[in-house]
C-alpha cells in the first residue's frame, strides 16, 4: 500500500519535477542522463497509479487462456503472531481484515508476520484446465499452499528453508500444478513466512505457456551467467599477464557477485546445496557481503584512491571494515538482522563508489570515464531494486529484473574501464615518474618504429640528444630537490616546444632526447638551436642553465640501424661538450662533426 501511495505521489508531482528539470537543463551528458532516469521513473509511476483494480476478485480460465498475473485478484491477511490456521482463515471471522494489495502486486518488504493469501480461479471452459501456479520470487523461507481436491484440503509445503527435493516441480522458482474441473470455481490459500523480503509474486499459466517461458528464461540465464563465467576466465588470464591488483579484485568481485545473483535467483540452492537450505541461506548473506567488500576494494584500486585522496580512502576502508564485521556476524546473528543490515549497507556503498568515481573523473583520470558509465547504470539499478525490496516500489518487470539488466550493462562497460586501465598501466610503464614525459623504454620503441618507417618510405629522420651542462656540480651545490626542479622544468619546456609527431623523452639522468620524424638535418639544426636558446633564456628560480645538443640525421640510408643513428647523435653530443658546451653539434659523417651554432 505504501508503494502504491508513493508512485501516486510521484505521478502527481511529475509536472513540478519536469519544470524543475527544464529549469536546470544544460547541454551536459550527465544532465540528459538524469532527465532520462527521472522520465523513466515518472512513466513507471504514472502507469502504476492510473491502473485500476478489476471489479471481480475471481480470475476466469477459458479455453484460450495462456497466462495471467494474480496480483489484481489477491486478498491478503496479516498474521503477526503466526497463530492462524487454515480453519481460522476460512471461518469468515477474519474476512474484514483481508485487503487487496493493488494492481502492482504485493511487495511487503521485511516483515516479521506470516501472510495469508487468498485467490479464486474459475474454469469456464468445457474441459479440465491444467495450469501452473508460480511464485516468481524464490527467497521465501516457508511457503504453504492449500487446495481443495475431492472434498478435502490438500497442503503443499515448500520454501528455501525446505530441502529442494520436496518441491512439486523441480525449478528455481516455486511451481505448483493445479487441475480445474470444467465449469468449476476454486478458492486457494497460501501462507508466507520469511526472514527476508516478503515479495508475493503470483501468476498462473497454461502448461504450454510455462514451457515456453521456462525455455526463454533458461536461455537468458545461460547468456547472463555465461557472461559472468567468461569475465572470470578473461580477467584471470589478464591478471596473470598484467599482475595488477585491480584485475584480481575485479575477479573476486564478479565471482562473488555472480554467485550472489545465482542465490538471489534460486540457482545456488538448487544446484549447490539442495539438501542444506539453512547453509544455502547463510551463503546468500556471505556472498552479498563479499560482493560489496570487493566492489569497494576494486574501486579503490582501479581509481587509485589511496594515492588520490586520504579522506576518501579512509571512508572506503572504514566501510569495508563494517562490511567485514557484518558479514562475519552472519555466522552468529539471525538471518533477518543481517539481511537488513546488508541491505542498508548496499544503499550506503553505492553512493560512496559513485562519489569516488566522480572525483576521479573530475581529476581527469582516463579509466574513470568508463567506470562512471558502468557504475551509474549499475547503481541506478541497485537503488531501484533496493527501493523495491523495502516496499516503496511495486514488483514490475523493470523493478524485478533491473538488477540483472544493470549488472549486464555494467559488465560490458567495466570491461572498457579495465581496458583503459591496461592502457594506463602501459602509459605509466613508459612514462618517467619525475618529469612525466616518455621514458627510455618508450624512446627505444618509438625510435625503432620511426627508423623502420624511414627505411620503408625513404623519409628523413633526425635525433637530438640533449644534456644539461654541469648538472652534477649543480646538484652538489644546490641539492637534489633543486636538481629535480630543473629536470621537470626542462621536460616541461621540451613538451611545450615540440609538436607531434616529434616527441621528447627523458633518456636517463640529466640527458633528454627528441625524435624528429620526417625532418632533415637542416630543419633539425633550426629546431635544436631554438630549443637551446629557449632553455638557456628562461631562469629556473634563481638559477640559469645551459644545454649541449648532439644531432644526427638519417638521410640517404646513412645509417643501417637505429643503434647507429643513436650512437652518432650521442657522439655529436659528446663533441659539443668537449667543444665547450652550450652549443649544437651535428654528426655529418664518420667521426666528423659540424658546429651548427655556438653560444651568443
CATH of the domain at 582: 3.30.70.270
In this predicted model, what pLDDT tens digit does every residue of 43-73 receive, in sequence order? 444 444 444 555 568 999 999 999 998 988 9
Query: Would you state the pLDDT for residue 347?
Result: 85
Cell numbers at residue 457, please? 618510405
Calpha distance 196→184 (Å, rounded): 36
Considering the domain architecture, whether residues 205 and 71 belong to the same structural domain is answered as yes
Q: How confident is the model at residue 99 (pLDDT cuts 50, 70, 90)?
A: very high
CA neighbor of 250 nearest in space, from 144, 146, 375: 375
Q: Are residues 75 and 167 in the same domain?
A: yes
Per-residue pLDDT, averaged over 443-453, amounts to 91
d(CA 129, CA 413): 47
Residues 76 and 159 in one domain: yes
Contacts of 298 (CB under 8 A, 6+ apart): 246, 249, 250, 252, 253
Domain's final residue, options 210, 235, 253: 210
In angstroms, the CA 554 to CA 557 distance is 6
H/E stretch holding 466 reads strand 461-468
Give the C-alpha separation, 288 to 193, whole Å: 22
Which of 397, 429, 461 lies at the terminal end of a domain, its last residue?
Answer: 429
**C-alpha cell of residue 565:** 643513428
Structure confidence at residue 398 (pLDDT): 67
Find the domain containing 463 and state its range. Answer: 440-597
Residue 41 reports pLDDT greater than 70: no
Q: How many domains does the chain have?
A: 4
CA 513 to chain centre: 41
Cell of 240: 596473470
Question: What's the residue count for the chain?
Answer: 600
pLDDT higher than 50, residue 244 = yes
- At residue 45, the pLDDT reads 47
Are 373 and 461 contained in the same domain? no
pLDDT of res. 496: 87
Between 495 and 397, name the one with better pLDDT. Answer: 495
Question: Is 216 domain-assigned?
Answer: no
Which residue has better confidence, 18 or 215?
215
593 upstream amide cis, omega within 30 of 0: no
- How does strand 67-69 pair with strand 202-206? antiparallel
Please tell me the least confidently modeled range out of 4-13, 175-184, 307-316, 388-397. Answer: 4-13
Given a cut of 80, whether residue 595 has pLDDT beyond it is no
User: Residue 103: which pLDDT band, with cuts at 50, 70 and 90?
Assistant: low
What mean pLDDT is predicted for residues 454-476? Answer: 89
Check which CATH number belongs to the domain holding 199 and give it.
2.60.40.2380
The answer to whether the beta carbons of residues 552 and 586 sit under 8 Å apart is yes
User: What is the rounded CA–CA span in Å between residue 443 and residue 439?
Assistant: 6
Q: Are 11 and 112 contained in the same domain? A: no
Which DSSP string corresponds to 218-280? HHHHHHHHHHHHHHHHHHHHHHHHH--HHHHHHHHHHHHHHHHHHHHTTHHHHHT-TT-HHHH
* 579 and 547 part of one domain: yes
Same domain, 24 and 154: no
Contacts of 395 (CB under 8 A, 6+ apart): 71, 104, 105, 106, 107, 137, 199, 201, 388
Check the CA dihedral 481-485-487-488 and report its sign: positive
Quickly state the pLDDT bin for 12 (edges 50, 70, 90): very low
pLDDT confidence of 5, banded at 50, 70, 90?
very low
- Say which residues have a Cβ less than 8 Å from residue 206's Cβ, sequence separation at least 6: 65, 66, 67, 129, 130, 131, 132
Question: Do 459 and 591 belong together in one domain?
Answer: yes
Domain annotation covers residue 223: no
Q: Which SS3 state, helix, strand or coil, does residue 171 take?
A: coil
Residue 581: all three cell numbers together = 658546451
More confident residue, 394 or 265: 265
Whether the model pTM is above 0.85: no
Tens digits of residue pLDDT in 168-196: 999 999 999 999 999 999 999 999 999 98
pLDDT at residue 15, as a whole number: 34
In a domain, 229, yes or no: no
Task: Name, of 173-177, 360-364, 382-386, the range with top average pLDDT.
Answer: 173-177
- Closest C-alpha among 384, 379, 382 to residue 299: 379
Answer whether residue 3 shows pLDDT above 80.
Answer: no
Residues 6+ apart with CB under 8 A from 373: 413, 416
Residue 236, domain member (yes or no): no
Residue pair 486/474 in contact (Cβ under 8 Å)? The answer is: yes
Question: In the predicted model, is pLDDT for residue 271 greater than 90?
Answer: yes
Name the residue with higher pLDDT: 533 or 409: 533
Examine the pLDDT at 315 and tell me if it is beyond 70: yes
Which grid coordinates are listed for 506? 627523458
Give the pairing of strands 547-554 and 461-468. antiparallel
Euclidean distance between CA atoms 215 and 495, whole angstroms: 61
Residue 215 lies in a domain: no
How far apart (Å, rounded) are the C-alpha atoms in residues 61 and 46? 29
User: Which DSSP state fits 520?
Assistant: -
**Over the Cα atoms of the chain, what is R_g?**
35
Of 228, 157, 221, give the one whose Cα is nearest residue 415: 228
| Same domain, yes or no: 121 and 204 | yes
* Residue 351 pLDDT > 60: yes
- Per-residue CA distances from 350 to 318, 347, 382 (Å): 15, 6, 8
- Stretch 560-585: mean pLDDT: 92
When pLDDT is averaged across residues 548-572 and rounded to a whole number, the result is 89
Q: Which of 6-15, 223-232, 364-373, 457-466 has the lowest mean pLDDT?
A: 6-15
Band of the pLDDT at 260, cuts 50, 70, 90? Answer: very high
Compute the distance between CA of residue 33 and CA of residue 46 in angstroms, rounded to an integer: 20
Phi, psi at 473, each rounded to 5°: -65, -40
Output the pLDDT for position 479: 86
Lowest-pLDDT choice from 445-449, 507-511, 592-596: 592-596
Rank 43-57, 241-255, 268-282, 408-422 by mean pLDDT and report only the highest: 268-282
Note whether 549 and 465 are within 8 A (CB). Answer: yes
Do 43 and 77 lie in a common domain? Answer: no
Confidence of residue 9 (pLDDT cuts 50, 70, 90): very low
Whether residue 200 contacts residue 106, with contact meaning beta carbons closer than 8 Å, is answered with yes
In this prediction, residues 286-314 reach a mean pLDDT of 93
Q: Indicate if 175 and 195 belong to the same structural domain.
A: yes
My answer on whether 198 and 64 are in the same domain is yes
Of 239-253, 369-383, 561-575, the range with the lowest mean pLDDT is: 369-383
Amino acid at each position: 500500500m505504501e508503494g502504491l501511495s508513493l508512485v501516486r505521489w510521484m505521478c502527481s508531482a511529475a509536472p513540478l519535477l519536469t519544470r524543475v528539470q527544464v529549469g536546470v537543463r544544460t547541454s551536459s551528458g550527465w544532465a540528459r542522463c538524469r532527465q532520462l532516469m527521472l522520465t523513466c521513473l515518472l512513466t513507471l509511476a504514472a502507469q502504476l497509479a492510473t491502473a485500476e483494480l478489476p471489479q471481480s476478485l475471481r480470475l476466469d480460465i477459458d479455453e484460450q487462456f495462456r497466462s495471467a498475473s494474480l496480483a489484481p485478484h489477491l486478498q491478503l491477511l496479516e498474521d503477526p503472531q503466526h497463530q492462524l490456521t487454515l480453519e481460522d482463515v476460512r471461518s469468515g471471522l477474519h474476512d474484514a481484515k483481508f485487503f487487496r494489495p493493488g494492481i502492482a502486486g504485493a511487495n511487503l518488504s521485511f516483515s516479521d508476520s506470516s501472510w495469508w493469501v487468498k485467490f479464486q480461479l474459475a474454469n469456464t471452459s468445457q474441459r479440465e484446465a491444467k495450469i501452473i501456479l508460480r511464485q516468481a520470487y524464490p527467497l521465501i523461507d516457508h511457503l504453504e499452499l492449500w487446495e481443495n481436491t475431492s472434498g478435502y484440503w490438500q497442503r503443499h509445503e515448500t520454501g528455501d528453508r525446505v530441502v529442494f527435493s520436496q518441491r512439486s516441480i523441480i525449478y528455481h522458482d516455486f511451481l505448483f500444478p493445479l487441475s480445474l474441473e470444467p465449469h468449476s470455481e476454486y478458492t486457494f490459500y497460501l501462507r508466507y513466512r520469511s526472514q527476508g523480503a516478503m515479495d508475493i509474486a503470483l501468476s498462473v499459466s497454461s502448461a504450454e505457456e510455462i514451457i515456453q517461458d521456462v525455455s526463454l528464461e533458461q536461455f537468458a540465464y545461460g547468456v547472463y551467467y555465461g557472461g559472468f563465467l567468461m569475465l572470470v576466465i578473461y580477467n584471470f588470464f589478464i591478471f596473470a599477464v598484467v599482475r595488477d591488483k585491480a584485475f584480481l579484485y575485479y575477479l573476486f568481485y564478479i565471482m562473488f557477485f555472480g554467485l550472489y545473483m545465482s542465490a538471489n535467483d534460486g540457482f545456488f540452492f538448487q544446484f549447490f546445496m539442495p539438501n542444506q537450505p539453512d547453509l544455502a541461506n547463510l551463503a546468500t548473506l556471505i556472498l552479498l557481503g563479499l560482493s560489496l567488500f570487493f566492489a569497494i576494494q576494486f574501486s579503490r584500486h582501479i581509481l587509485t584512491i589511496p594515492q588520490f585522496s586520504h579522506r576518501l580512502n579512509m571512508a572506503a576502508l572504514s566501510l569495508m571494515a563494517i562490511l567485514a564485521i557484518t558479514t562475519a556476524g552472519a555466522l552468529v546473528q539471525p538471518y533477518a538482522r543481517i539481511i537488513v543490515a546488508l541491505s542498508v549497507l548496499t544503499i550506503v556503498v553505492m553512493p560512496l563508489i559513485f562519489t569516488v568515481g566522480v572525483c576521479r573523473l573530475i581529476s581527469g583520470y582516463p579509466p574513470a570515464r568508463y567506470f562512471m558509465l558502468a557504475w551509474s547504470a549499475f547503481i541506478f539499478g541497485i537503488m531501484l531494486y533496493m527501493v523495491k525490496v523495502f516496499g516503496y516500489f511495486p514488483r514490475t518487470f523493470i523493478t524485478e529484473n533491473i538488477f540483472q539488466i544493470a549488472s549486464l550493462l555494467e559488465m560490458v562497460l567495466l570491461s572498457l574501464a579495465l581496458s583503459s586501465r591496461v592502457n594506463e598501466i602501459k602509459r605509466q610503464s613508459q612514462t618517467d615518474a619525475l618529469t612525466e614525459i616518455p621514458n627510455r623504454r618508450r624512446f627505444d620503441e618509438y625510435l625503432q618504429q620511426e627508423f623502420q618507417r624511414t627505411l620503408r618510405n625513404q623519409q628523413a629522420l633526425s635525433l637530438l640528444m640533449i644534456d644539461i651542462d654541469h648538472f652534477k656540480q649543480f646538484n652538489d651545490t644546490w641539492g637534489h630537490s633543486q636538481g629535480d626542479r630543473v629536470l621537470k622544468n626542462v621536460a616541461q619546456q621540451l613538451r611545450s616546444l615540440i609538436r607531434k609527431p616529434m616527441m621528447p623523452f627523458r633518456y636517463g639522468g640529466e640527458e633528454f632526447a627528441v625524435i624528429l620524424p620526417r625532418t632533415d638535418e637542416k630543419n633539425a639544426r633550426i629546431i635544436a638551436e631554438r630549443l637551446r636558446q629557449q632553455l638557456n633564456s628562461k631562469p629556473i628560480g634563481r638559477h640559469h642553465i645551459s644545454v649541449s645538443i648532439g644531432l644526427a640525421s638519417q638521410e640517404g640510408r646513412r645509417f643501417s640501424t637505429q643503434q647507429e643513428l643513436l650512437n652518432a647523435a650521442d657522439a655529436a653530443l659528446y663533441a659539443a661538450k668537449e667543444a665547450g658546451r652550450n652549443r649544437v653539434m651535428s654528426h655529418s659523417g664518420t667521426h666528423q662533426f659540424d658546429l651548427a651554432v655556438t653560444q651568443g
